[in-house]
Structure 1
């Protein structure tokens, strides 16, 4: 899929497929001519005359993951626009992905050969869902359950999202857009076994609130330590890059107070983690439960950081 038809040259329709683009390198290349066994050349596209203007009806460009900037980051106009005083991106930019590495291609190759564009196992559904559209960070396929959902599968989709300047992910950004879910559902519907219903939806997110009290080192900046502590908690208890391995909180993994102690004690300005309390919270209503030392998570759910509170006081 590296090469994509992008346009035509003057006097020919786009269906002539006269040039293609390498999306990874950003290079245009005219269609090839292949020598046949009898020695003749066969052209796979019209050859433009020398000096003919090339017309590109549309194109997309970006900076890969670096283009996924947080809200409020884009504030400079590239050129003056009448009656426009200033600009700002109210929502995070998403969809930018890096080109596939050789190691990733080696991993994907055997999966593609095994799947063969047909969904049979849960791993097949996950691989096909990732290939259906961009902007998908994680996918998990599970059996839907008993009763009316017997014989169906649930495909849980976590979209890509960008934290704000404070390192906080918005809950709304972790809910896939309707068109993303629709694209995945249509892609899987053409590849599922007959009789299997496919439900494509976001996972359940268990909100987690940490309330902690720290003692700083003698020359530590108290305000900065509180900021760093909250940022570290938001980074650790999140579904995309959190968790002990930094690749997203594992599905169904419980949250324990001992992990909070470990995260906070690693900060440069922390002398002692005096106290930690965990609260299960609802990120939609904002309600939270009683203080506990462990929060159990449904085996197909993920955690979401919700309004951590860290107080730093000198002893």
Structure 2
């Protein structure tokens, strides 16, 4: 960034003294410089004006900084709400927990993000069976201690068994929520700045799900997987499945105290870089967001046919007050009336609808007329249902428009609201139809790009003000004698307080008789809640985003983008320009317009090797950023085994330190770091001088008498001096070093 000059670099007293010193030279006849002289008064006034002008010229206000950020396409982020997966248990019968059901975490409210079809079954046992061991990990699941789903090695044929206390229903979508451990030193990539929606991740392994249908343990039938966001248990997510036959109880060791109903997950094809480690596994789980909905709007698209009906499932729509609006040809909304009779009793010109609430499904159903009994909504129009909490209805009304420019309405008395999801409308009088029509207005950051006809408004969250335009930048709401500005969708929530710890969400926020006895819990802590971004934080963020590469041009760009591949833990990466696999004499021989990227995944193994799926995921991510003229190759690192044979002369007291020298060599010749370095550099030759230096620095070593190095691996070369030359994509690892120690007194 360019340095900003300081324009306000002189004080008032300094400027006044400079002006007084210039008087004898410029005006010799001016001899009275005392304070009573009117000329001195004018001089002080002009000095003060100059000082004020310098102050304002030097000042960059917060409003200026926001405009500068806007030129860069950046605005301070709003408050974000925390989210977490919550699980329910304890209901003896199937029931529905609708979307938007409020839950309580002390003084905070969370709402379910989706509708949950509760299954009255309890996850009772979890067993892991591998080729070498079998274990019951139910206690780990209850205490939150992570365990390997297929053992530490994740070998093919390993199985994860999940037992339930009762049979799961047939032909019903069942959600199994899975959370993997994230406690690793290498974080999961997020995709970087400005990344569009990524393609689904290629699964590194393949698993199959089955359920028990036989008493002897041989009867297992495959499960129909509706959706799997875990990519075959390689990431946190959900598995939605269906059973097409009845389950049968089975007694299974080591949980053979009673018969249970089992699901089995078998690892069919191995390939995990990091064996999946389960932290939580539960059914009857749904994601909840820290927020409180005051009102919401649910749109529907008419079919244009007679007796059009629509349905929505939501807590607020089922328990709150509702109204229905239908759009006309001018894009305005007209409120229709709910008939207290049947539609068959309505006339052809009556704009009415029937409303029915289904207690079992917690749904709201709307039905409209056929043109003869009630007006039929047109296909090109939109129908929407507006639902609100009757106890908070006063928050919906913003105020009454006086028809003047730059109107402001203070809504801080009602609290602070989320900008996302905020919807506002203004009523105008239709003189021809002699009724009120509602027009939607759009929330914008400012009126800089607003025209006189644009129905725009702004919301200042810090001051709690709704502002409208001046008829040049933004339209003015129509004048009205009654309140005509209201919200149709409004939510509160957000902030770091929403990042509650595990088990803090423990109850429904509102009582319902059918939910009595149901327990609520969050197996993991909530995350994602953050405060509104300050201007200084936004300025720091934009500097980071401007420095982050979004196009892969240089080798450093490729490395930075590959390291942040979404969903992967990339431990090391090396970009080799003008190289393609198979090139033998690199860098003397080069391949123009070629780029090879070598990746090493994070793993608990000593020599992590990227599998085909890992390489494909990195390649897909880089393909979105590379230049069209560049041919891209993504390969795994090659490991070169290096063994050192050394004869070392040492002090007599260190003749038994051969293991210490071998340990130092293993520490030097390693592919991965362990918190104190990155490991051996890609493609770097192993020189005898490196080994000499490492050994000679040790205490008690007099000198190295003899030394030679052996190497095994692809494309490795040993020169006449005994140095080992690696391919550009190679990393070294230690073999069994042979160190012979000779006491200096034995020579």
TM over 0.5: yes
Which has the higher mean CA deviation after the structures are superposed, 288-297 or 305-314? 288-297
- Whether the 8 Å CA contact 1:282–1:288 is kept in 2: the answer is no
- Cα 1:197–1:241 shift into 2, 3 Å: same
Structure number with greater Rg is 2
- Cα 1:220–1:199 shift into 2, 3 Å: same
Q: Answer yes or no: is 1:239 the counterpart of 2:695.
A: no
SS at match of 2:654: coil
Q: Answer yes or no: is 1:158 the counterpart of 2:600.
A: yes
Residue 161 of structure 1 and its aligned partner are, at CA, apart by 4.8
Residue 232 of structure 1 and its aligned partner are, at CA, apart by 0.9
Where do residues 215-294 of structure 1 align in structure 2 (5 Å cutoff)? Answer: 215-220=649-654, 222=656, 225-241=657-673, 246-282=677-713, 292-294=721-723
- Cα 1:274–1:188 shift into 2, 3 Å: same
Which structure has greater helix proportion?
1
The CA RMSD measured in Å over matched residues stands at: 4.5
Paired residue for 2:492, among 26, 40, 43? 43
Q: Which residue does the alignment assign to 1:71?
A: none
- Cα 1:301–1:289 shift into 2, 3 Å: closer
Q: Distance in 1 between matches of 2:562 and 2:574?
A: 9
Q: How big is each residue's C-alpha offset from its partner over 1:267-304, in whole Å with a ceiling of 9 and x where there is no partner?
A: 335344222112232289xx997984322334453333
- Cα 1:113–1:211 shift into 2, 3 Å: same
Q: Which residue does the alignment assign to 2:737?
A: 308
Which structure has greater strand proportion?
2
Q: Which residue does the alignment assign to 2:554?
A: 121
Q: Distance in 2 between matches of 1:57 and 1:189?
A: 38
Residue 140 of structure 1 and its aligned partner are, at CA, apart by 1.2
Q: Answer yes or no: is 1:142 the counterpart of 2:598.
A: no
Which has the higher mean CA deviation after the structures are superposed, 32-41 or 265-274? 32-41
Which sections of structure 2, spanning at least 5 residues, go unmatched? 1-79, 89-96, 100-111, 116-181, 184-287, 293-415, 419-458, 467-489, 499-503, 509-518, 526-539, 583-590
SS at match of 1:255: coil
- Cα 1:110–1:213 shift into 2, 3 Å: farther
Residue 156 of structure 1 and its aligned partner are, at CA, apart by 0.5
Q: Which residue does the alignment assign to 2:482?
A: none
Aligned residues, how many?
245
- Cα 1:216–1:292 shift into 2, 3 Å: same
Where do residues 60-75 of structure 1 align in structure 2 (5 Å cutoff)? Answer: none
Which sections of structure 1, spanning at least 5 residues, go unmatched? 18-22, 60-106, 164-168
Q: Distance in 2 between matches of 1:308 and 1:214?
A: 13
- Cα 1:241–1:271 shift into 2, 3 Å: same
